Amino acid sequence: METKKYRCHFSIIFESLWQFWIVIFFIIFNEIEVIIDVIQEVGTKGIIDLLREGGLWGFLVLLVITIGIFGFQFFRWRKTWISLEDNLVIIERNTLRKIKNTIAIENISAVNMERNLFERVVGTYKIKMDTNSLSTANETDVSIVFSEDMAIEFRRLVLERINALKGNGGTPALSEERTPDEIFEEKAEGKKVFHCSTKDMFMHALYSMPLFSLIISIAGIAGAIGYISYFGWLSFFKEAIGGFIALAFIVVSSIWSVVKRFVIYYNFTVYRDGKDLHVKCGLIKLKSYTVPVDKITAIQIEQPFFSRFFKKYNTKVVTVGVGDEDGESSNITMSLSLPQLREQLEELIPEYDWARIDNVVSEDKAGIFVRVIKSIKWHIITISAILLLTMHFHAPWWAGILIPLVCDAYINLLYVLSHKASGYNITDDGMVLSSGMFNKVYMVCTYEKAQYMIKTIHPAAKKYGVADGVIMLLNSAASLPYVKNDILDTIADRIIGGTK
């Protein structure tokens, strides 16, 4: 095969500088009062006098650091090459320390593209490649920035070589799309494309809204309104403005946790093409990722707190290279009803049509008894806390009695919710394991994808012949509910055999 040699786009240097100045911005923001004093001094003394008094040195230090970072990043950029040689991807850096990272094409599990606002402006894409490696399963193995045409060419060549190794011969690696911006035009006959409208994405953001973010937002807004109505605006600006600013940041971050779901999944589109799933989404950061179905470790069907009330489900794939870093998503559906979910999953991943979450049965009733025994230690801690707070520290009744009792009740509520969410469906093809507390998660996996099983037998569980545990996957885990030992032995035998 022809050897191709590439170099990252020059803009990668400025991305590093931008990250440095973001850190400087937050440092300056934390010292906002000092900055205000400096601005006032500029108005009285003038900028020239202020620089003479020492401000010049601070400016020069930042300038020297900026130039140093630029020079270092320029040197790395000039000395780093990415090569496609036969069935290898080679990243070579010849700086003071020579580094050569060689990746076999057959070990690449994902070749994805994304671009943030800066990359949109300069016309570049970020290529992110992951391998089937347990040690790096929760991080991207290779991240490189190319110009648009070069990124498209590089991704196409890598995916075509992956396809060739799969035995697909000259089958094109990509479908009709050219770039993630032009992706998913429904041209090929028989291909079904699932596209979410603005309303669908908005409803998904609401259904998947974190419960505690809503509580914090409501409490913060209600607290500010209550303070102002009781003490008045004048007292608010004089006495509580600092605390309000801190509270405002908390409230805004809580609201953003909802808004960002809409931003992340904007224009969400997915379809199945051969043995791959193609997904595109994103408003600020446009992401396009391809999921080889044979690389999927498990299917994760989620029901966040509000989704459980409205009987909605969304689906993620558990696979190396997609959704394994902060801020990344691995969704292949938005929030859907159960019939809609079945329809989409039958089209996208028919390999998992054996997995029926409505056939999941609750864990063994002995799980209730085991949890009751486990909760005894928390009752002892609660009683000890009450005695200590009331008799030694002489705390008021609400602090010495009420707070420990509320904490104890909350912990016991978690035990109840955990039991309610725990269930299983063991079939010849694989497992469906449910778990959670406020949220509920169904983990669907086959026996051959399981790495190993950890079986835990609590003394209280031993009496009833039950046990729980964990199924460890390549880059995730699935919780086993309390079930009879013979069921766990069956699962273990099938994991060892890897088949039915």
What confidence score (pLDDT) does residue 69 get?
76
Q: pLDDT of 415-441, one tens digit each? A: 999 999 999 999 999 999 999 999 999
Q: pLDDT of 278-335, one tens digit each? A: 888 888 887 877 788 888 899 999 999 999 999 999 999 988 766 555 556 789 999 9
What confidence score (pLDDT) does residue 183 get?
46
Tell me, what DSSP letter sits at residue 51? I
Which of 142, 107, 108 minimizes the C-alpha distance to 126?
Answer: 142
Residue 208, C-beta contacts closer than 8 angstroms, at least 6 positions apart: 261, 302, 304, 306, 307, 314, 335
Q: With beta carbons less than 8 A apart as the criterion, state whether 410 and 403 touch.
A: no
Alpha-carbon span 229 to 7, nearest angstrom:
62
Which of 448, 454, 410 minimizes the C-alpha distance to 429?
Answer: 448
Q: pLDDT of 472-485, one tens digit each? A: 987 789 999 999 99
What confidence score (pLDDT) does residue 174 get?
42
Mean pLDDT, range 236-251, rounded to an integer: 64
Which of 415, 386, 413 minimizes the C-alpha distance to 401?
Answer: 386
Q: With beta carbons less than 8 A apart as the criterion, state whether 176 and 187 touch.
A: yes
- Which long-range contacts (C-beta less than 8 Å, at least 24 apart) are formed by 220-223? 220/247, 220/248, 220/250, 220/251, 220/254, 221/251, 223/247
Alpha-carbon span 108 to 111, nearest angstrom:
8
Distance of CA 358 to the CA centre of its chain: 26
Mean pLDDT, range 162-181, rounded to an integer: 54
Mean pLDDT, range 109-114, rounded to an integer: 78
Q: How far is CA 387 from CA 24, 334, 381, 394, 409, in A?
A: 49, 50, 10, 9, 17
Enter the tokens of residue 78: 């000039």
Confidence of residue 238 (pLDDT cuts 50, 70, 90): low
Q: Given the DSSP bridges, would you call strands 80-85 and 88-94 parallel, antiparallel or unpaired?
A: antiparallel
Q: With beta carbons less than 8 A apart as the criterion, state whether 306 and 209 touch.
A: yes
What confidence score (pLDDT) does residue 156 get?
81
**What does pLDDT average to over the chain?**
80
Residue 355 has pLDDT above 70, yes or no: yes
Confidence of residue 223 (pLDDT cuts 50, 70, 90): confident
Alpha-carbon span 345 to 340, nearest angstrom:
9
Residue 369 has pLDDT above 90, yes or no: yes
Alpha-carbon span 152 to 154, nearest angstrom:
6
Alpha-carbon span 478 to 480, nearest angstrom:
7
Cα–Cα–Cα angle for 212, 325, 140, rounded to 5 degrees: 180
